[in-house]
Amino acid sequence: MLFYHSFLAQSPSWQVIDRVGSDAQKVMKPLEGSENSIILQLTNFSTLPKAKVLVNGQVKGDFTHPYVTVPVSNGDVLEVDTTYYDHSVTIKVLDSTRQIIAPARGTEFSGRKTVFTLGKVKLDKKS
């Protein structure tokens, strides 16, 4: 246990798994065949299954769990559809692969009964 807290707890992904348990194992796995991905966190509710994550207008995930990992490419437009919910929904960019510089890690976005944009994915060309 000391090893876990000393070394593995340094990774944001492992900290998330420690907090939410086995459900996160399905959500926090690296994506097969995808070089770049973003992990989004639903911050003000535990789940909102009808809140959808859109990449270029296509549904790529939902908040059945508080965390969603989506594959992205340079120039993709990342959005969250909250039109079903009559209350504010807050999403945080929890983590991403190192090449992704936008949307930035730690940034929070909110919306109510709308589709809000998290931004256009921008990759660091040096990596």
Nearest C-alpha neighbor of 90 from the set 44, 46, 24: 44
Q: What are 37-77's pLDDT values in tens digits?
A: 999 999 999 999 999 999 999 999 999 999 999 999 999 99
For 81-102, what is each residue's pLDDT tens digit? Answer: 999 999 999 999 999 998 999 9
Q: Note the helical H segments in the chain.
A: 2-6, 12-20, 23-27
Mean pLDDT of the chain: 81
Domain chopping of the chain, boundaries: 37-123
The reported pLDDT for the residue numbered 55 is 97
The reported pTM is: 0.73
Q: How far apart are CA 45 and CA 72, in angstroms?
A: 24
- CA atoms of 1 and 6, how far apart (whole Å): 9
In contact, 81 and 63? CB cutoff 8 Å: no
